[in-house]
Chains A and B, each alone.
Chain A
Amino acid sequence: MLLKIFFKEWRENLPVFALALALLLALVGLNWSGQQELTLYLSGMFLWLFLPFAALLFGSSGYESEFKDNAWVYLFSLPVKKWQIWLVKYFARLSLFLSIFLLFNLLIHYLPGLKASLENSGLLFMMHGLLAYSPYLMISLLALTIAFSISFLSEKPFVLVFAAILIGAGFLFLLWKYQEFLIMTYFLRRGGEIMAGLGGAAFAAASLIVFTRCDFSQRGKNLLHFTRTAALFLIICLPLHLLWVTKGKVFSPRTLYHPTHAHKTAGDVTINSFQHGIVKYDGRSRRFIKLNRSSRFSNWLFSLEGGKAAFIKDIRRERRSYPNLWIMNDDGSDAQALIETQKRESPFYDRDLESCLLSSDGRRIAFIVGPGSSILGGRELWRMLSDGTRLQKYELDLPGHRNFQLTVWPESGGNLFFTAELKKNHELPRSRLLSLEIDTGNLRILAEDLVNPLGIRTSPRHDVLVFRHRTAEDEMNHLSLLDLYSLSTEIIHSSSTPRRGSIRWDPHGKKIAFWHADGSREKLSIFTPGKGIVAGASYHDPFYGLSYDWLSDGVRLAACRMENDAPVLNILDENLTETQRFALPGELRSLWSIWGGDNTVLVQRSRRGGFWLLDLGSGEWEEIF
């Protein structure tokens, strides 16, 4: 009988669902007719406008038909408990909303062109091939829950919509103030997400309790009870949130956005960066050493070369964030701030530091300076010695460019390499690879239409870059090499299916392991100059494409895959033939990345964080961090 109410709710909300279907059909039509620009606009509108408003409408219409026809008397006179009515109504709305979201995901899954353009535009955050964990989903679910939680308090849906927007916006504002993070950049960090979840749960719990005990006809009284109960639950949420955040600081490596970008293997030593500090893994002692406990640190802004580590971290002053550029030895000693943008006497006062890069010998450092609080203004590239002297500026005459990322600065060769995104009006942004000639300041475009600019990998000898890019004419996706001295490029693999998976140089810089599409599956391959490509087994789950690495011998590869729904770690030889196989502990079912060592493999867990070490000799796992 609860199903009857469930389907009744679906039936009552069908117009919004039908509108969603119409929009999705329009999206398919636009995509098939090749109108990329319009597709992108419609997708953006769908994600940022339609989904949250659909969620608000679903939520606020919680008891609309009951108010409209006085049917609440009928509904409550049926032999169903009130808490069941609340739950059925809520889950009916949740399922409606998630169905729309799932349909959008399916569309993306089956329309690769759409997926690629959305990923390039930065609209999507993909996980396990699905739009899983993203701000618009968070906002929408929060909006749905809050709107539904208060929907029994008033018979006017638009009042509820605005009330939900106000409450939600106020709630997010408090989160922002409380968390002191830049809402538009990261929107909700883990702590924020937890608080948003707890806050939504507080509203829902208050609503459920008041609803089951209330007299539906006494709106004023209900509002008072609901306000009191929700406030109580929100107050209870605060210490829970603090507990989570505090615990997270100690144990969780938080978000390792691009772990491979921020780590280097030197012999048997791996250094990694954490959001809440920098940690070094010493392969000999098999232990982690904390090098720097700085918070507000992002591994996007981290460089490690020639025995030095440079990083950008934020300093809070007067409720504002000021980026500082720091440098230290890779053992954590001699840490010093080179640039402090909060100081009025600094030439970089109130400016943004957007990327930093050490030269391959660690003696020089380059960084990108943005306009800071001023909206107008271009970017500048600066360089100096790693002791902070001999500062020199290069104007980057690149109008319409944004998202600059310094890529590599070989110690000889005279060029510094970086990527930037070109955004022209009404066009999709395009990433390009550029070089700056240090002596003359001349800029040169080396490659267009990069796929995943942050996934570009430099050879350990700093002489070759490997990167993914597309050619618009034949719509092919390529894996190419760039010689950093001659600046010549060579395509080593092409495919019609786009891929973003990681690329790994072997520790000696002689071979490249990479993922590419093999029909609907993923295939691991090795490219050796002069020998061509060796292709190995196909893997189902593209997420596990991140999870492989060379061992220190430069011959064997460690790769994770799902087998009969259980994760296993394979050791592959140079022909990609399996030589060893290890079952992963249950805790590592959801893993983030792995690093190969000297007869060891280091595995980072995705959820809750933590590192596990596998000894290939004994086959034993040990949780080491």
Chain B
Amino acid sequence: MSDILEITGLSKSFGRKKILNGFNLSIEKGTVYCLLGKNGAGKTTLFRMIMGVIPPDAGNVLFRGNMLSYGDSRHKKEIGFIAEDSIYYGWMTVRRHLRFHAAFFPQWDAAKAEAYRRQLGLEDNLRIRNLSRGMKLKLGMITALAASPELLILDDPTSGLDVPTRRTFFRDILGGILDSGTSILFGTHMVHEIEDITQRTGILHQGRLVVQEEAADLKRTVMRVRFTCDTPEAVNRELHGILTSQRRDRRYETVIHPWNKQRRAELQVLKAYDLETEPLNLEEIFLSFIADDGPPTVEGTEPCC
């Protein structure tokens, strides 16, 4: 399957602070890619650069194999973008906004927009500045979806929403998009929400993509490993892939990636015993990767046994 979006070596700084540093990412057509990163990790900056809102300092963005330069606008017709906060003109009514937006997208489906609006119960004579956060999200979804995008970028859309609205979003809105075969790039820090929908997951930390794998593979290759070792001074030297590590006397509790035959062999060399392994959920995996003391992990490792 071909990549709809491919990013290589993307860098961006604000002043002296490096937000992205040689960032790489690729999304296959028709898949859901979840980009995990804590607040301030650079997800929003990345999405704005893909949308041509801000220029990158370095690196390339390819959309459907075509290199994009800052200032290109044609690809924006094919991408739907839903931002974390409301980014629409507050003085416009819902109706005026949809009419304004439609003018820029030749493939805009007014009937579809109207159907979504009715389905989501959004009144069209309300001013955007008077909408609640949930309603703004609904408007964002209508705005993005009525243009039938090939790629939908969601920048932490459910952040700050109450539980019923979040549930509506995932059940009523996102469900429909997933069925339509639209590629999705979903940036969030609320991992548990996307656990069921993600097909490929990347974790953004300290400006780089520290891991990028199929979600199922990730769950297989990241393992919580408990063991006892009589030569603790050798553990850090001989055992590789430790994301987090806790020790009580000679007993270790670590998260290791990738957990594979080589790691097992390394533990045998260390003469570790009382070995226990336990798989992690996505949220635990995410936390392990972004733990500040955790070492960066190489990308694209082989799954374990």
Binding site for B on A (CB under 8 A): 1, 3-4, 8, 12, 65, 68-74, 76-83, 212-218
Contacts and interface: CB of A to CB of B under 8 A. Distances in A.
B59 interface: no
A1 B76 CA distance: 14
Contacts of A80: 73, 104
A74 B71 CA distance: 15
A213 B100 CA distance: 25
B86 interface: yes
A1 B104 contact: yes
B88 interface: yes
Contact of B71 (A68, A70, A72, A81): A81
A75 to B, nearest CB: 9
28 contacts: A1-B103, A8-B89, A69-B87, A69-B89, A69-B129, A70-B86, A70-B87, A71-B88, A71-B89, A72-B53, A73-B53, A76-B53, A76-B54, A77-B51, A77-B52, A77-B76, A78-B73, A79-B73, A79-B74, A79-B105, A80-B73, A80-B104, A81-B73, A212-B71, A213-B71, A214-B55, A216-B53, A217-B14
Contact of B54 (A78, A81, A83, A215): A215
B217 interface: no
A70 B74 CA distance: 23
A368 to B, nearest CB: 59
Contact of B104 (A12, A73, A79, A82): A79
A527 to B, nearest CB: 63
Nearest to B99: A4
Nearest to B48: A73
Contact of A4 (B48, B54, B71, B100): B100
B253 interface: no
Interface in B74-106: 74-77, 81, 83, 85-91, 100-101, 103-105
B54 A71 contact: no
A9 to B, nearest CB: 11
B294 to A, nearest CB: 30
Contacts of A72: 53
A212 B70 CA distance: 9
Given A69-B129, A217-B14, 17 more contacts: A65-B90, A65-B91, A69-B86, A71-B87, A71-B89, A74-B88, A76-B54, A77-B52, A77-B76, A77-B87, A79-B77, A79-B104, A80-B73, A80-B104, A81-B73, A213-B71, A215-B54
B89 A65 contact: yes
A12 B85 contact: no
A4 B103 contact: yes
B19 to A, nearest CB: 11
Nearest to A68: B90
A144 B138 CA distance: 38
A78 B86 contact: no
A79 to B, nearest CB: 4
B150 to A, nearest CB: 13
B84 to A, nearest CB: 10
Nearest to A217: B54
Interface residues of B, number: 30
6 closest cross-chain pairs (CB), A and B: A79-B76, A74-B87, A69-B90, A4-B103, A76-B53, A77-B51
Contacts of A4: 100, 103-104
A161 B225 CA distance: 64
Contacts of A78: 73, 76, 101, 104
Contacts of B103: 1, 3-4
Contact of A215 (B51, B55, B91): B55
Nearest to A82: B71
B296 to A, nearest CB: 27
Nearest to A4: B103
A218 B91 contact: no
B136 to A, nearest CB: 11
B51 A76 contact: yes
Nearest to A81: B73
A81 B68 CA distance: 13
A70 B104 contact: no
A215 B52 CA distance: 10
Interface in B130-152: none
B160 to A, nearest CB: 15
Nearest to B70: A213
A481 to B, nearest CB: 65
A83 B52 CA distance: 13
B54 A216 contact: yes
A214 to B, nearest CB: 8
Contacts of A73: 48, 53, 83, 87
Contacts of B70: 213
A72 B87 CA distance: 7
B12 to A, nearest CB: 9
A80 B77 CA distance: 9
Q: Which of A78, A80, A218 has most B Cβ within 10 Å?
A: A78
Q: Which of A65, A76, A77 has most B Cβ within 10 Å?
A: A77
A74 B101 CA distance: 10
Nearest to B92: A8
A77 B81 contact: yes
A76 B85 CA distance: 15
Nearest to A214: B55
B82 to A, nearest CB: 10
Contacts of A71: 87-90
A74 B86 CA distance: 9
